[in-house]
Amino acid sequence: MRIAIDAMGGDDAPKVVVEGVLLAAESFPDTTMVMYGDENQINQYLTKELSNIEIVHTDEKIESDDDPVRSIRRKKSASMVLAARSVKNKENDALFSAGNTGALLAAGTLIIGRIRGIDRPALMATMPTVSKTREKMLLLDLGANADTKPVNLEQYATIGSFYAGHVYKIENPTVALLNNGTEDNKGNAVTKEAFGLLKNNEGINFVGNREARDLFDGVADVIVMDGFTGNAVLKSVEGTASTIFNLLKSSIKEGGIKSKLGGLFLKDSLIEISEQLDYSKFGGAILLGVQAPVLKTHGSTDSEAVYNTLKQAREILQSNVVEDTVSYFESLEED
């Protein structure tokens, strides 16, 4: 297996990317890590020589504020573009970047290409739940597409189910539709129509509508939503969590001796909770519906999150989820 890595994407690139790649290359000798980027800068952080690390030099890169589609088309030798081309040309098997999300989505869709039968690839993340019976859930689309049709939601349900089954070995994974109420007749024009499509789709295990309030209770293995709402939900969750933790921190810091002692005694609990909610432990977000795994971590990522995402890329490749998704949609076209 060979993973193409955009070494220049992310706030602390290439440092944290190279550090994460080193960790992954040591742990997974069966996987070759091919870093695209500035050789001098990369070598600065490459503290070990490993036979499963390769470097392809380029001095062009996509900036975080570059226009996604335009930069992908014009910066033909940017690290992200070269890495994507190498996957398209089958030199490598998966693409990783911590850089410009829009550009990575564009690279995945325009360079690597959609799976035939999937109109819109979706951005998916694995998130933790507080349920005792379901440790994690898959949410998609988290923002690949701002405008979404009912059939897109149906396709998200299929590709999300394939991922849950193949990568997480969940048998007959349950699928829910994020909606503004749990009753069958709830929703806007798009979710109402999608409900009918999902209900009648025999290839998935649809359990109905679920609300954003109950997400963390682990209401289903796969939860589909339009990308505009998905983006708002993810950012609301992140914003609320960071607001509460910041309030707690400043309350401990600015409070009297009692608060400070309380903070000290509760430190382990707070770290445990923040780790429980930290979804980078599951790896990065993945662009599902393209012809190879395309993975993304936060721009403000650390080397451990890079490692986790490369580990996830390897698991995806081993699971053959992309190949089986391709076959499934081909069989639909033949019907």
70 binds its own copies (CB under 8 A): no
Q: Would you say 112 or 223 has its CB closer to its own copies?
A: 223
Among 264, 278, 318, 320, binds its own copies (CB under 8 A): 264
Q: Considering the rule CB under 8 A, would residue 151 count as an interface residue with its own copies?
A: no
Among 236, 320, 327, 331, interactor with its own copies by CB under 8 A: 236
Out of 108, 121, 143, 283, point to the residue binding its own copies (CB under 8 A): 143
Query: Using the rule CB under 8 A, which residue among 39, 60, 63, 211 binds its own copies?
Result: 211
Tell me which of 268, 333, 334, 335 binds its own copies, using CB under 8 A.
268
Residues in 163-182 at the binding interface with its own copies, rule: CB under 8 A: 178, 180
Question: Which of 29, 196, 203, 255 is in the footprint of its own copies by CB under 8 A?
Answer: 255
Give the count of residues interacting with its own copies (CB under 8 A). 54
- Residue from 70, 116, 199, 235 binding its own copies (CB under 8 A): 235
Q: Which is nearer to its own copies, 145 or 291 (CB)?
A: 145
Phi, psi of 255 (to 5 degrees): -75, 175
**Least distance between its own copies and beta carbon 140 (Å):** 15
Peptide bond into 141 cis (omega under 30): yes
Q: Among 259, 298, 315, 328, which residue interacts with its own copies (rule: CB under 8 A)?
A: 259
CB of 273 to its own copies, least distance (A): 5
Q: Which residues bind its own copies (CB under 8 A)?
A: 130, 143, 146-147, 178, 180, 187-189, 191, 211-216, 225, 227-229, 231-233, 235-241, 243-244, 246-248, 251-252, 255, 258-259, 261-270, 272-273, 276-277
